[in-house]
Chain A
C-alpha cells in the first residue's frame, strides 16, 4: 500500500511537470478558457456600443405619405386620412432620434428598406374617425398602419421595436384626446391597475435565476473541457510516443500508474475549470451589460458555495476518469479526441438541458440520468432547493461513474492491446 502511494505520487508529480511544460496543453487547458469569455464580451461590448451609437446618431425612417394602392377606395375619408397622415408624419418628425424621409408609395418603401437607406418604413392607411365603431385596426379592413422592417437586420429590428413603441404612444394619445372630447375620463379604459410583486428582491432573484442556468452549463462544459488535452496526452499520447511500453515494463503496479495519471489529469481539469470561471468573472467585470443587466446580484450562501465547490471537484473527477478511460481505449491522440466529442456534446446537453426544468415537479428518475443528475444538483444548490434524496442518488452515481471509468481504464492499461502503437 505504501509503495503504491509512493509510485502514485511519483507518477502524479512527473505527469504534472510534463503537462505544465507543454505549451500547447497549457494554452488549450488554461489559456483559452481564461481569455475566451473576456474576448467574447469585449467583442459584444464593442458591437453593442456601436449599435447604441448608431441609434443615438439617429434612425432613418421612411414614411409613405400617399400610398396609391391604399388610397384607391378611400376617397370618402380623404380629408381625415390626409390630416392623420400629416399628424403621424409630424409626430415622427418631432422625435429626437428619428430622421423622417417621405416616400411616395409602398413599393418605393420596400426598395429603400432593402437598399438600407432607411431602418424601417411606416405605411399609414386611413385612421378611423372618432365616431367609427370598433377600435382602430380591429375591424374587417385590417391594419391601418404597417411597420415595415428588415427582419434579417438587427439594427432594423431594434429600430422597428422603438418605432412600434412610438406608434403605441401615438395611438394612446389619439385615443385619450378623443375620449377627452367625449368627456370620458381616461381611467375608465384601465379599470384594473395591476401590481406585479415578486417574493424576493428583483436584482437578487434575477441574479439567482441567471446563476441557476449559468452554473450547470459552465460547470459541465468546463469540467469536460478542462482535462481534455491532458487525458489525450496521458493515455493515447503515451501509446503514440512509445513511452507506455517501458513504463509498463517497470516494477511499478498498474493501479499506482493509473492513479498518478488520474490525479494529474484531474488537477489540470480543475485548473482549467478555475481558468474558465476566472475568465467568466473577468468578462462580467469588463461588460456586465452583456449579461443582461449590470445590476444583477449573484449572492450565494457559504454553504451553497461550499457545496458547489465540492460538486465541481466531483464533476471534474468524473469527466477526467471518463476521458482517461477513453484515451486508453484510443490508439492515438487523434482517435482519443474523436472519442471525446460525444462526452463534450453530452456534457453541454446536460448543462443546457436543465434550463427549463422545474425542480419541484421533476420525477426522481431524472437523477439517475448520467451527467443530467449532476447538472440538476448544481441547479438545485444555486436555487437553494436541494433535497436529500436527489443529493444521495447523485453522490452514489458519481462514485459509480468514477470507479467504473477507472476500472475500465485500468483494464485497458493492463491489456496487452495497450502496447499497440498508433
Chain B
C-alpha cells in the first residue's frame, strides 16, 4: 500500500487485523468475518504496526516472542520451537537474552517481526516495517520479507519508500484520502513506474 500520511493505510491494516471496525462494509480475512470471528481472524494474521514497535522493555526479546506464541494458542513445544526458529532466522542470537530496554531500534524491529510471525500466520501485515531503521537493519527486514513471500505467505505491506515497494511487491495499492485509487501491477518487463503512477493517480483524484 502506497499513500501519503492520512491516506488510510494503517486504518486498513488495523481493520484487517480485527483491531477496529469498518464504519461501513465488511472485512473478510482468510474466509473469516473479522467482526464476527475476531479471535480466528487475529490468529490467521500477524501484524507489525508502525511507530513504537510495542515491546515489553523489562522482558528479554526471547520472552517477548514466547509470550505472544503462548497468547496465540501454540502448544508449549510449538511455541518454544517457533521462537527459536525465528531468533535464528532474524539473526537475534546475540541479543535475544538481553532485556528489550537495551536494544537498538533495529533489534527492536526484528524482535517485533518475530513476534508477529511466531504463531505462523498465513497473512502478514507490515506497517512501514523499515521506517527509522539503519541500512543494515532495513536490509535484514527486507530479506526476511522476501523470504516469507517466497514461502507463499500473503504479505500486505505499507510504505512511503517506493523503491522498497517496487522491490518487494507484486501489486501496489495506491490509497488517497481513504480511498483505493489504483492497483498497480508490474509491466511485461517485471518493472513498475510507481513514481509516475502515484503522481498521475493523486493528481487525477484532485
Given that A7-B71, A10-B71 are contacting pairs, would A22 and B58 also be in contact in the complex, using a CB cutoff of 8 Å?
yes
Is A251 interfacial (CB-CB < 8 Å)?
yes
Range class of the A interface residue count:
20 to 34
Within 8 A of A (CB), among B69-127: 70-73, 99, 112, 115-116, 119
Complex contact A241–B57 (CB within 8 A)? yes
Is B182 interfacial (CB-CB < 8 Å)?
no
A21 to B47 CA separation, bound complex (whole angstroms): 27
Complex contact A416–B59 (CB within 8 A)? no
Complex contact A241–B72 (CB within 8 A)? no
Complex contact B52–A416 (CB within 8 A)? no
CB distance from A24 to the nearest CB of B (A): 11
Is A421 interfacial (CB-CB < 8 Å)?
yes
Is A253 interfacial (CB-CB < 8 Å)?
yes
Is A358 interfacial (CB-CB < 8 Å)?
no
Within 8 A of B (CB), among A86-123: none
Within 8 A of B (CB), among A231-273: 241-253
CB distance from A27 to the nearest CB of B (A): 14
Is B21 interfacial (CB-CB < 8 Å)?
yes
CB distance from A234 to the nearest CB of B (A): 11
A253 to B43 CA separation, bound complex (whole angstroms): 11
Determine, out of B12-20, B132-140, B151-159, B192-200, the stretch whose residues face the partner at the interface. Answer: B12-20
Complex contact A246–B115 (CB within 8 A)? yes
Is A419 interfacial (CB-CB < 8 Å)?
yes
Complex contact B56–A243 (CB within 8 A)? yes
Q: Known pairs A17-B58, A251-B71, A421-B52. 6 more at Cβ < 8 A?
A: A14-B59, A22-B58, A242-B54, A249-B17, A249-B45, A251-B39
Is A168 interfacial (CB-CB < 8 Å)?
no
Pairs across A and B, CB under 8 Å, 28 listed = A10-B71, A11-B71, A14-B63, A14-B67, A17-B58, A17-B59, A18-B58, A18-B59, A21-B58, A21-B59, A21-B99, A241-B57, A242-B49, A244-B54, A245-B19, A245-B54, A246-B49, A247-B54, A248-B19, A249-B19, A249-B42, A250-B42, A250-B71, A251-B43, A251-B71, A253-B39, A416-B20, A419-B14
Complex contact A419–B19 (CB within 8 A)? yes
Is B165 interfacial (CB-CB < 8 Å)?
no
A419 to B17 CA separation, bound complex (whole angstroms): 13
A7 to B67 CA separation, bound complex (whole angstroms): 10
1/0 per position for A1-43, CB-CB distance to B under 8 A?
Answer: 0010001001100100110011000000000000000000000
Given that A242-B54, A253-B39 are contacting pairs, would A3 and B67 also be in contact in the complex, using a CB cutoff of 8 Å?
no
1/0 per position for B32-72, CB-CB distance to A under 8 A?
Answer: 00000001101101010101111111110001000110111
What residue of chain B has the Cβ atom nearest to residue A250's Cβ? B71
Chain A residues lying within 8 Å of B67, measured Cβ to Cβ, are 10, 14
Complex contact A18–B21 (CB within 8 A)? no
CB distance from A240 to the nearest CB of B (A): 9
CB distance from B74 to the nearest CB of A (A): 10
What residue of chain A has the Cβ atom nearest to residue B49's Cβ? A245
What residue of chain B has the Cβ atom nearest to residue A414's Cβ? B38
Complex contact B72–A246 (CB within 8 A)? no
A247 to B40 CA separation, bound complex (whole angstroms): 15
A14 to B21 CA separation, bound complex (whole angstroms): 29
Chain A residues lying within 8 Å of B116, measured Cβ to Cβ, are 246
A245 to B48 CA separation, bound complex (whole angstroms): 10
Complex contact B72–A252 (CB within 8 A)? yes
Chain A residues lying within 8 Å of B51, measured Cβ to Cβ, are 242, 421
A11 to B115 CA separation, bound complex (whole angstroms): 16
Chain A residues lying within 8 Å of B70, measured Cβ to Cβ, are 10
A249 to B119 CA separation, bound complex (whole angstroms): 12
What residue of chain B has the Cβ atom nearest to residue A14's Cβ? B67
Chain B residues lying within 8 Å of A242, measured Cβ to Cβ, are 49, 51-54
Chain B residues lying within 8 Å of A252, measured Cβ to Cβ, are 39, 71-72
CB distance from A202 to the nearest CB of B (A): 53
Given that A10-B71, A421-B52 are contacting pairs, would A249 and B57 also be in contact in the complex, using a CB cutoff of 8 Å?
no
Contact of A251 among B19, B49, B73 (CB under 8 A): B73
CB distance from A203 to the nearest CB of B (A): 49
Contact of A246 among B39, B40, B43, B54 (CB under 8 A): B54
A242 to B10 CA separation, bound complex (whole angstroms): 14
Given that A22-B58, A246-B115, A249-B47 are contacting pairs, would A416 and B21 also be in contact in the complex, using a CB cutoff of 8 Å?
yes
Complex contact A419–B20 (CB within 8 A)? yes
CB distance from A14 to the nearest CB of B (A): 5
Complex contact B56–A3 (CB within 8 A)? no
Chain B residues lying within 8 Å of A7, measured Cβ to Cβ, are 71
CB distance from A328 to the nearest CB of B (A): 16
Contact of A3 among B17, B54, B57, B73 (CB under 8 A): B73
